[in-house]
Chain A
């Protein structure tokens, strides 16, 4: 789910968090829980974006780092670092994913009126990965478009990428219509 300021009649509950020196926000409805950092199992050969797996109450959950697609600098986790466990729509079904945050702030209501479409120029991040920007306590808040980020990742990753990163030689096309 992404935020569409025009189709909500009230305020949207958002969770604000810090990531790579920026303030970001995601819909609170997608957040399941916030965890203290836990041991991660590295997945050999996996992309940096989803480098590992964690145990969340008996289920195995992929851990992803939004700083990779957003092109943010990556610093070691500080004492406020948390993992946000979220439900994210991936290839048509809801997928539980852990998302790293440098700190998680609070659940807040953001007036949709004050959310704006991303300016086409001057944006530091890939524009398609941001659904809107808003203001919170005087700071600029960025709303990453999680669905697009994950869909993009899966599209670029056709499931056949090898450990060494070599792509398959043949190109697959859509089936022909009879």
Chain B
């Protein structure tokens, strides 16, 4: 064994720990009283110190000792978590990362000094944000008598109450609910001493049967949590990770996925061959192989699935740093961090999302004074949301800033010769211009953005991931960038369909149901393009038209109802062949411009089928329908 090896192991481990440390510090900034989090930070530091010493990295160990001491004080309640501590800690974290790449790097003493000063001089600030707590319950017959609880809530809000929440504890099971009876009570908070009479003005005509309590502020709530730590025995196990983990080089996972892809195709060929031979002993073996293959596929995919949280730590840090550079605070909210995507997709998303966040903070959010003048909260919000939508993941990044300036974009596009000055463009087309290479409307280039590099990177990366980008914006209310991404780049469950003897695959995850096309719609010339499915009108598209299929439709066409961004849409096909595991093969550059297809696949009989991109298909269908209407 050479000296290199243990060092590489140490660095690898340490880098992971440093990353989690950063993420925890940033979370701690948001919830300074979280004792578990403080413990976790302490443990990270302790582990790092221990392994640093073990691998002979005394520079790392010594620095961490000082850092750890500070957090010990926090853990024991002798010091409090505040922005200052987090800022010093983040700098300390950066220094550790620095030490890891450059042994003996300078700068540690200054940081340890700052920490020491902080520990000695922590001002025992009284709680500023004392909150009065209100709970109320209206008479159960309020609704029956025509009362409107929402009006009361509005009144309370105008009195200064905030965080108004419904308490649903008394709501009975659905079968026992009396729709005219009010089961809900509410709670709310206010940061001033408000008299009971003043509150009662909100409950005019609702005093009968009103139950109302107003509790004074709890003294030093967070401090008490800190000073009275729960005994260690009740906490989660030391590493909090649950189960043994193993680090595997990413290329091996990619290789494994390729092998599974080949296995799936070979399995389909085997099944076809067995069906031709028709021997029962063989068939049962084929059944086993099929089951194992699909199990293998699931496992391999799940190994590759990575939650978005793997990259959000970087975004929190970016937001923190941006706030510092821009000199204005904003809230950065992340929702749906547990949403999982293929590891490759998650990794490649980091860069485009950082660009969007930077743009939102720099161009989107206004200065507090401007915001206040516009009647908005002085602190802006940038929100990152991730959620599943059918076979896709929807990631949206929105800000509540000034919104995109249509006219400025237009003028800049005319200047650059991208559009004619007389062109009339829809919002969609105008917002699409910001993705052009080198496009920027920023009057001056700042340190952060405005060079016009960025949004074209966003579009290119998302295209390469077979996703789509959409921008929506409302002047004065903010901008939202939505990314739609496929869950995986490798294998999907597909539904194989037949159109004029040609086969196509639809992602099964988007399929809701399959119905027969009613005879009256059988002929392509029938005017209306809606189906009545259980009393709801569902628009449908004839794939024969969209895919320019030759010949006449089969007599009993089927409608595959899929979920799309515009709701349910039916897709008419000649015949359903069945479900199959679809190994996605990328189209070559010669065909990758055709947006209707997200790839191709090889079938059990050796034939090729194209994989349909449902959002694009629906979009194209809508365009065709609009054109047909204009022509009519």
Contact call B418/A95, Cβ cutoff below 8 A: no
Residues on A with beta carbons closer than 8 Å to the beta carbon of B590: 50, 62, 64, 90, 95, 97, 150, 153-154
Interface size on B, residues (CB 8 A): 43
Cβ-neighbour of A43 out of B591, B595, B602 (below 8 A) = B591
| B315 within 8 Å of A (CB atoms) | no
Do the beta carbons of B607 and A41 come within 8 Å of each other?
A: yes
Number of residue pairs spanning A and B whose beta carbons lie under 8 angstroms apart: 104
Residues of A near B602 (CB, < 8 A) are: 55, 58, 60
Chain B residues with CB under 8 Å of A158's CB are 593
A95 touching B588 in the complex, CB below 8 Å, given contacts A58-B262, A58-B602, A60-B602 = yes
CB-contact partner of A91 in B548, B589, B591, under 8 A: B589
Is B289 close to A, CB under 8 A? no
The answer to whether B594 and A46 have CB atoms under 8 Å apart is yes
If A39-B607, A58-B602, A60-B585 touch, whether A173 touches B594 (CB-CB below 8 Å) is no
Say yes or no for A45: interface residue by CB 8 A criterion.
Answer: yes
Q: How far is the CB of A31 from chain B (nearest CB, A)?
A: 18
Residue A44 is within 8 A (CB to CB) of chain B in the complex: yes
Beta-carbon contact of B548 and A44 below 8 Å = yes
Q: Whole-angstrom distance from the CB of A157 to the nearest CB of chain B?
A: 6
Tell me the B583-628 residues at the A interface (CB within 8 Å).
585, 587-597, 600-602, 606-610, 620
Give the docked Cα–Cα distance between A9 and B620 (Å).
54
Q: Is the CB of A54 within 8 A of B418?
A: no
Please determine whether A176 and B438 come into contact, CB atoms closer than 8 angstroms.
yes
A175 to B452, CA, bound (A): 9
Q: Chain B residues near A173: list those with CB within 8 A.
A: 416-418
Question: How far is B268's CA from A55's CA once the two chains are assembled, in angstroms?
Answer: 15
**Which residue of A159, A160, A163 contacts B596 across the interface (Cβ within 8 Å)?**
A163
Q: From residue A98, how far is it (CB to closest CB) to chain B in Å?
A: 11
CA–CA, A176 to B440, complex, Å?
11
Q: How far is the CB of B608 from chain A (nearest CB, A)?
A: 4
Within 145-178 of A, Cβ neighbours of B (below 8 Å) are at 150, 153-154, 157-163, 169-176, 178
Given contacts A55-B608, A172-B436, whether A159 and B592 have CB atoms under 8 Å apart is yes
Question: Do B418 and A170 touch across chains, with their CB atoms under 8 A apart?
Answer: yes
CA distance A39 to B24 in the complex (A): 57
Shortest Cβ distance from residue B31 to the other chain A in the assembled complex, whole angstroms: 43
User: Would you list which residues of chain B between 8 and 52 have a CB under 8 Å from chain A?
Assistant: none
Q: Which A residues touch B631, using CB under 8 A?
A: none
B451 pairs with A178, CB closer than 8 A: yes
Which B residues are in CB contact (< 8 Å) with A170?
413, 418-419, 423, 429, 433
Question: In chain B between 557 and 587, which residues have their CB closer than 8 angstroms to a CB of chain A?
Answer: 585, 587
Tell me if A53 is interfacial: C-beta within 8 Å of chain B: yes
Instruction: Return chain A residues, CB-CB under 8 Å to B194.
Output: none
What is the interface of chain A mostly: helix, strand, loop, or mixed? Answer: loop
Cβ contact within 8 Å between B589 and A154: yes
Cβ proximity bits B432-468 to A, threshold 8 Å, 1 near / 0 not: 0100111000000000000110001000000000000
Is A59 part of the contact surface with B, judged by Cβ < 8 Å?
Answer: yes
| CB of B502 closer than 8 Å to a CB of A | yes
- Whether B600 pairs with A45 at a CB distance below 8 angstroms is no
Q: Which A residues between 72 and 131 are near B, CB-CB below 8 angstroms?
A: 90-91, 95-97
CB distance from A36 to the nearest CB of B (A): 13
CA A64 – CA B549 in complex, angstroms?
A: 20
User: For the complex, what is the distance from the CA of A47 to the CA of B262, rounded to whole Å?
Assistant: 30
**Residues of the B chain whose Cβ atoms lie less than 8 Å from the Cβ of A60:** 585, 587, 600-602, 608
Q: Is B112 an interface residue (CB 8 A)?
A: no
B265 close to A (CB within 8 Å): yes
Given A163-B546, A171-B417, does the pair A41, B262 have CB atoms closer than 8 Å?
no
CA distance A96 to B601 in the complex (A): 16
A50 and B589 contacting across the interface, CB-CB below 8 Å: no
Q: For A174, what are the chain B residues with a Cβ–Cβ distance below 8 Å?
A: 437
Distance of A45 Cα from B590 Cα, bound (Å): 12
One of B585, B589, B591 near A46 (C-beta < 8 A): B591
Tell me if B547 is interfacial: C-beta within 8 Å of chain A: yes
A42 within 8 Å of B (CB atoms): yes
B265, B418, B451: the one within 8 Å of A172 (CB)? B418
Kindly list chain B residues whose C-beta atoms are within 8 Å of the C-beta of A171: 417-418
With most chain B CB atoms within 10 A of its CB, the pick from A42, A46, A53, A157 is A53
Please, how many angstroms separate the alpha-carbon atoms of A90 and B436 in the complex?
Answer: 23
Residue of A nearest to B584 (CB): A60
Please judge, given known A-B contacts A41-B610, A163-B620, whether A90 and B589 are in contact too, CB under 8 Å.
yes
| B608 x A50 contact (CB < 8 A) | no
Return chain A residues, CB-CB under 8 Å to B593: 157-161
Is the beta-carbon distance between A44 and B596 smaller than 8 angstroms? yes
**Bound form: Cα–Cα A50–B547 in Å:** 16
Q: Which of B413, B549, B589, B610 is most buried by chain A, counting CB atoms within 10 A of its CB?
A: B589
- A62/B262 in contact, CB under 8 A: no
List of A residues within 8 angstroms of B609 by Cβ:
41
Listed A/B pairs (19) with beta-carbon separation below 8 Å = A39-B607, A40-B608, A43-B597, A43-B610, A44-B596, A46-B594, A58-B602, A60-B587, A91-B589, A97-B588, A154-B589, A159-B592, A159-B593, A160-B595, A162-B620, A163-B596, A170-B418, A170-B419, A172-B436
Instruction: List the interface of chain B (C-beta within 8 A of A).
Output: 262, 265, 413, 416-419, 423, 429, 433, 436-438, 451-452, 456, 502-503, 546-549, 585, 587-597, 600-602, 606-610, 620
**Hey, which bits of chain A sit against chain B, CB under 8 A?**
39-46, 50, 53-55, 58-62, 64, 90-91, 95-97, 150, 153-154, 157-163, 169-176, 178
**Sample of 5 further A-B pairs with CB below 8 A, known A58-B262, A90-B589:** A44-B596, A54-B608, A55-B607, A153-B590, A171-B417
Q: Which 8 A-B pairs have the closest CB atoms?
A: A159-B593, A175-B438, A41-B608, A175-B437, A44-B547, A60-B585, A60-B600, A50-B590
